Each structure stands twice: as C-alpha cells, then as structure tokens.
Structure 1
Amino acid sequence: MRLLQQEEISPLLADHPEWTGGAEHLSRVFTAADFPAAITVVDKVAVIAEEMNHHPDIDIRWKTLRFRLSTHSAGGVTELDLELARRIETLLASESG
C-alpha cells in the first residue's frame, strides 16, 4: 500500500474540516448525544471497518469518540484511510441528524 503525500490528503481535509492530520495519521472527534449513542456509532464503524478489512483506532470517553486512522503496516496514511474517513464522515452526518 502506497503512502500518500500531504497534497493528496489535503482535498479530504478541505472537504471535511472536522478531520485533521497529515501524512502520519488522520483524526476526528465526534460527540454523541450520550454514552449509548456513542457505542452505537462505534458498532456501526466496526461494520464498515470489517467490510473494508481496515480498522481505525477508536478512543471512547463517555460520549466523546476520537477516531485515528493510519495504515499501520505502511507507516502512515494510504488511500484506505481516506476511504474509511469518508465512510465514517457519512455515518457521523447521519447520526447528527
């Protein structure tokens, strides 16, 4: 899997300003309505991750979720991370109402 350069990552960050990061990793914080809603989001992201066979790091603190994406085997951000970020963003948009 090829590592992406910052200029290849920048369009995603411009289109989805809630995402931050660069060539090493991408991250996004999402605050759910409550703890059960946060767990529901994690469950839905787990389904997406399994479909892609690409798994994010997820930190859960009460109703706040922090997603961190990188392709560990490649040592940074690849196209898989961009696609996973897009899919997570679509899910979060639907969860936000």
Structure 2
Amino acid sequence: MDRLSEEEIASKLTSLPTWTKNGKMLEKRYRFGSFFDAIQFVNRVAELAEHMNHHPFISIDYKVVSIRLTSWHAGGLTVLDFDQAAMLDQIYDSDGVH
C-alpha cells in the first residue's frame, strides 16, 4: 500500500475530525467511564488489529485509551490507517460505555 500525500491526508482527515495528524501518525484519545470499559475497548481494538494485520500503538491511562496509527512499511500514513481509524470510531460509538 502506498503512502498518502499531504493533500490526500488532509482530505481524509475531514471525514475523521476527531483524529489528528502528528508527524507520520494519526492520533486519538478515547475516554471511558471506567478502567474496565477502557480495557474492553482495547480488547476489541486488538481483535480488529489482528484481523486487519495492522497493529496500532495503544496506551492505557486509567480511563483514557490513546491510539496511534501509521504504516511503517510505507513510511507514513496509508489508506489502511484511515480505514482502521474509522473502524475504531465505530467500535467506540457502538459500545455505548463512555
């Protein structure tokens, strides 16, 4: 998969307004009502990552889960990162535990 240009990245970010670009990564913080809810979300993220064979950086800070996405093989962001970001938002929105 090819790395996206800065113009393509800017365009794709319009459909993911809660995500930010930081260098060669997409980043987002998800907030939860409890530590357990955060861990359940991380477990669902892990299942998706395994299915996609595309593994994010995950940080858990009590009730906040931070996700960073990039495609190392492409040297930056690809369509796969944006697809996964959208799927993570769907998981978060469907859980209803935040």
Structure 1 unaligned spans of 5+:
none
Identity of aligned residues (%): 37
Query: How many equivalent pairs are there?
Result: 97
Alpha-carbon distance, 1:4 to partner: 0.4
Alpha-carbon shift at residue 12 of structure 1 (Å): 3.1
Measure, in 1, the Cα distance between the counterparts of 2:38 and 2:52.
21
- Tell me, yes or no, if the aligned pair for 1:24 and 1:70 is still in contact at 8 Å: yes
* Alignment partners' CA distance in 1, 2:37 and 2:77: 28
**Cα root mean square deviation, aligned:** 1.6
Q: Post-superposition, which runs of at least 4 consecutive aligned residues in structure 1 deviate over 4 A?
A: none
The Cα shift of 1:10 comes to 2.2
User: d(CA) in 2 for partners of 1:12 and 1:96?
Assistant: 26
**Which residues of structure 2 form unaligned runs of 5+?**
none
- Distance in 1 between the 2:90 and 2:11 partners? 16
Q: TM-score, normalised by structure 2?
A: 0.89
